[in-house]
Structures are given as structure tokens and as C-alpha cells.
Amino acid sequence: MKTRQHGFTMIELIVVIVILGVLAAVALPRFSNIQSDARIAKLNAARGAVQAASSMIHGTVLVRGGQQDANNCPGTSTQASNATSLAGTVCTEQGLISVINGYPTANLAGIIDAAGLTSVFPATEADLAREGYSTTADGTATGTATGGATIGSTITVRVTGGSNSANCSFTYSPANGGATGSAAVVSAVTTTGC
């Protein structure tokens, strides 16, 4: 006996198309928001790296007790001063990190290099841009100047690519309110522009 095969009926095709339409309507908004979620995750990762680097550099300064290193830092012909309150430097595996108040300075040579936000050491603004970051107020805000660095300075780290990178950021300062001896401050993230 010979059986004839038939294709899908029009109703079956319409049901499949409707189901796919409903799935697309539910899933598409979620997938379109993935880029924003990725920028927020990147921002939170950068903030965590800055907090950890700030604490580790501060711990290193305290352990070394302000005593200048006996040997040159890798890649340099300079010995780290390990200054606990004034401006100075700390030697890391990558190279010298600028410090003030016992914490990394609010600039590329300080907190950005310490946090390792780029794969290049020392970092430049172009290196940051390639990684999807930008900075503003690069350690130039007014504050108590000591040894060429500014205690009260603030740097804003931004993740680029969103609707408004100024609102996809956080700030870092090596001293709370510019007070000598106070702890470094890392603000909460602002994500409305991610």
C-alpha cells in the first residue's frame, strides 16, 4: 500500500510562527541589554581592581615602613622610597607605582598602573582607550600638594561605549577629603550611562 506524505498544514505553520514571534518578543529585549550588562560588569571589575590595588600598595608601604629599597625596581634604575605619608614610590613586579599618603596617586602612574587596567605597563591614555576605559581629572584636582603629588586629587575611571560614559564611572582619591593620614576612597559605581 502506497502512502502519500503531506507537508505541514497552514495552521501548523501559523502556530510555529506565532510561537517564534512570542519567543522573539520576550528574548530580544534581554539580548539587546547584554552590552549594557557587560559594561556594568567591566566597570565593577575595574572598581574591584582599584580597591584591591589600593589596599595592597598601602599594605606594602606599611610593611616597608618608609625605608628606601636597597635595589633598583625592575625595568628602572630607581629605588622605591616606600614613603608612608609624603609623595614617593613603591616597587612592584611590574615597576614603580607613584604613591602619596601611603596610597597610589590618582593618575596613570599610580592607581591605574597598580590596578593593571591595561596589559601595558606603564599605561597611557591610548592604552586605556584600547581596553575600553577613559579617565578624567587625572590627579590634577586641588588639594594639599606634597612632593609634587596632590593628596586631595581625584581620578574618574569611565567605561566607554555606552550612552553616556560620564555616567558609567567611579572615582578614586588617595585620601578622604585630602586629609593626610586618611584612607583612600573609591566611590560607588554610577551605571546610568552604561
Is 28 among the domain residues?
no
pLDDT average, residue stretch 180-193: 90
Q: Is residue 192 part of a domain?
A: no
Within a domain: 173: yes
100-109 in b/e form (b: 16+ CB < 10 A) is bbbbbbbbbb
123 lies in a domain? yes
Q: Is 49:110 a contact under the CB 8 Å cutoff?
A: no
Do 78 and 139 form a contact (C-beta atoms < 8 A)?
A: no
Q: For residue 156, what pLDDT is reported?
A: 92
Q: How many structural domains are present in the chain?
A: 1
pLDDT digits (tens, 9 = 90+) for 118-160: 998 888 899 999 999 999 865 544 444 444 457 888 999 999 9
Q: What confidence tier does 101 reach under pLDDT thresholds 50, 70, 90?
A: confident
Q: Which domain holds residue 101?
A: 35-186
The reply to whether 67 falls in a domain is: yes
- First and final CA of the chain: distance in angstroms? 66
Q: Give the Cβ contact number of residue 145 at 10 Å.
A: 13
Predicted pLDDT of residue 169: 95
How many residues are there in the chain?
194
Is 117 a domain residue?
Answer: yes
pTM reported for the whole predicted model:
0.78
Does the pLDDT value for residue 7 go beyond 90? Answer: no
In 101-138, beta strands by DSSP E: 103-104, 133-136
What confidence tens digit (pLDDT) does each residue in 69-91 have? 888 887 788 888 887 777 888 98
Report how far residue 121's alpha carbon sits from residue 53's, in angstroms, rounded to the nearest whole number: 15
Residue 24 lies in a domain: no
130 falls within a domain = yes
